[in-house]
A and B are shown apart, each in its own frame.
Chain A
Amino acid sequence: MSEDLSIPGPNSIGLLVKRMRQGDSGMLPVLVGLLLLVIYFQIRNAAFLSSGNLVNLFVQATIFILLGMAEIWLLLLGEIDLSIGITSVLGGAVTVILVDPQFNVSWFLALPAGVLVVTAIGALYGLIVVRLKVPSFIVTLAGFLAFQGVLIYLVDAQGTGGTIPVHEKVLYNLVYGYLTPLWTWILIVAGVAFLGYRMIRMDVSRRSSGLATDPLSFVIGKVALLLAAGIILAMVFNANRGTFVPLSGMPFAIPVDLGVLSFGTLILTKTKAGRYIYAIGGNTEAARRAGVRVERYRLLAFCLAGLTGGVGGLLYVSNLNGVNDGPPSTLTLYAIAAAVIGGTSLFGGRGKMIHAVVGGIIIATIYNGMALLSMSASTQYIVTGVVLLAAVTVDAIARRRSATS
């Protein structure tokens, strides 16, 4: 039987084509879509692919990515959070207020405090959903309204006219601070080396155990692709993008995103907790009968969603260089859109953290490119809507094909 386990296919391209035919296309259609968007914007405005604009685009994407990853924790269970755009900003507001000169709390305490607030709200949602069995759609809709009120109260209570600026350096530097070009290289090389090592090591140990593996060319191709992407990113970040003074290096927001991405991916793919989150999203009753403590892991996912959203809130207030009492109501919807465009299912059991990264970059590309072309906000909303629909439709068709084949 071990002979049957090896996947036939002459080469890696043949394998890729075969997988696509089977509907297991992964993120390829979405990446092609992103490429088309990039080509379009680059033709319309040559400044689009400039280093300065790309770095700007990545920073804009970080918030969609983080909030998208927060949603993925819940979408995997078949749950949803309609309030993450408000609760994350509420956490950010708590941090801004704490570091404000009137309280003057150290960033060392204030940043975790903001994240903790959002995590606690996530835990509260989780308890209501799990113990009282109220649908998360309703619980978080109620939270959206209630915490918007709390945010307005909190910000207005400071008596600064509905806006609190950030005067604290660490919080400010989350988005506006940069690694030096050397550290940018070190970080990227270390990251690529680690991931490449993991991929090759996994392949080698599977081979030595006599298990089926992808063709060697496939693994080498993936590592080479990763290396190329790393080098291009390092060059983009390290090119001088200053207009008056030289400016280069990776904004701190990027490693923050990558850190949260690694953490989430590690939990989901390598631990029991992650396995159970997928299982519960796929078939709750099967998980329960297999002895999984379903309530515990659902609650955990709500807490992790809050934790991830909390980090997003910090980046949001840092990017805005302050907080006001009226955050955009579209923030939550963009978060869900980022996850879904990337390929995460709304019905649970299917999705990856990396989906939010791809989806977030697509949303930021549309947002950034349209602004560069001086297109109106109305066009931007319409295009984002069309892209969302297209992404989900392509995915649905691919999946239907795989189900019937």
Chain B
Amino acid sequence: MSTTPESSNPSSSSNGPSGQDGSGAGSEPVLLSLRGISKNFGPVQAIQGVNLDVPVGQVTALIGDNGAGKSVLIKTISGIWEPSGGHIYWKGDEIHVHTPRNATDLGIATVYQDLALCDNLDIVQNMYLGREETKFAMLDEIKMELATNQLLRDLSVSTVKSVRQLVASLSGGQRQAIAVARAVMRESQLVIMDEPTAALGVSQTAQVLQLIRTLSSRGMAVLVISHNLNDVFTVADRIAVMHLGALCSEGPASNYDTASAVELITTGHSSRVPSTLTPSS
């Protein structure tokens, strides 16, 4: 049931993405590489031929119009379903992610738009749901509570009064923060977020963006979907634009401005952005 790295030896990864860097992802080593990923649902082609590199310690923003295939792409990475074609490389080794559990075990944590928190449980209980600490088969509440306090402090989440309050009583920003904290709790190396600021007010959005920066400064790769270009330009190091199921542009955030991003989102090409697409192998 576990993932099956086909080439366990990193040196044999020459048939994978061509080299760890220099493939358009800047100087940081690449954590996750997609090559020619496609997904179809019956006759409907949702995404096709997507090549994308997600580097370590950087925030990659995935933008695009509704139906452009952003969510399909991240669900493919997260193991909700398997791709119809193409290859996924994790640190240079090809992997096959069959289930969400496979992805989690690799270190890929996904925060979905609906956050998937249990309102009737408190923060600690939500943080540890599915992986509780136990002592003699009994829940070790004190250990879990201490660790939760520590983690929230590390991530500079300071707005929650008590980690024993029910999630139902939290604000939207706090809930997002808890969902993110839970995602990164288990040694995650890649955090994927689907519209983390969509339902938030101004100050809460700022908190979540700060949290995203904190994650990347701690050396995690972050892949974030957003509709809000302000947020994207505030937080992203790299930008990838999807249009009609294909990746139409990718590169450092400095290559783009709001006008060119809008142009890419709506038409799929822009004369003002240098083409930095990773060539298909």
Contact = CB atoms under 8 A, between A and B. Distances in A.
A278 B153 contact: no
A171 to B, nearest CB: 33
B152 A291 contact: no
B199 interface: no
A58 B120 CA distance: 32
Nearest to A345: B120
Contact of A290 (B120, B129, B168): B129
B117 A1 contact: no
Interface string B142-171: 100110010011000010011110001100
Interface residues of A, number: 31
A290 B130 contact: yes
A281 interface: yes
Contacts of A206: 142
Contacts of A281: 120
Contact of A283 (B104, B119, B161, B163): B119
Interface stretch (A81-89, A99-107, A128-136, A269-277): A269-277
B100 interface: yes
Contacts of B112: 289
Interface residues of B, number: 34
Given A211-B146, A272-B139, A5 B117 contact: no
Contact of A289 (B116, B120, B163): B116
Interface string B104-115: 100000001011
B130 A291 contact: yes
Contact of B129 (A4, A211, A292): A292
A350 B118 contact: no
A343 B162 CA distance: 24
Task: State the main secondary structure of chain B at its contact with A.
Answer: loop
Interface string A280-316: 0111011101111000000000000000000000000
Given A212-B164, A272-B132, A292-B129, A350 B142 contact: no
Nearest to B112: A289
A271 B129 contact: no
A282 B158 contact: no
B125 interface: yes
Contacts of B114: 285
B129 A287 contact: yes
A278 B120 contact: yes
A349 interface: yes
Contact of A1 (B120, B121, B131, B153): B153
B104 A285 contact: no
| Max chain B Cβ within 10 angstroms of own Cβ: one of A272, A278, A286, A291 | A286
Contacts of B134: 272
Given A209-B142, A275-B139, A287 B120 contact: no
Given A271-B137, A292-B130, A282 B120 contact: yes
Contacts of B119: 282-283, 349
B130 A287 contact: yes
A205 interface: yes
B161 A282 contact: no
Contact of A291 (B117, B131, B138, B142): B131
Interface of A: 1-2, 4-5, 7, 205-206, 209-212, 270-272, 275, 278-279, 281-283, 285-287, 289-292, 349-350, 402-403
Given A272-B134, A281-B120, A287-B129, 4 more contacts: A209-B142, A270-B138, A289-B112, A291-B131
10 contacts: A1-B153, A205-B142, A209-B146, A275-B121, A279-B118, A281-B120, A286-B115, A286-B129, A287-B129, A289-B112
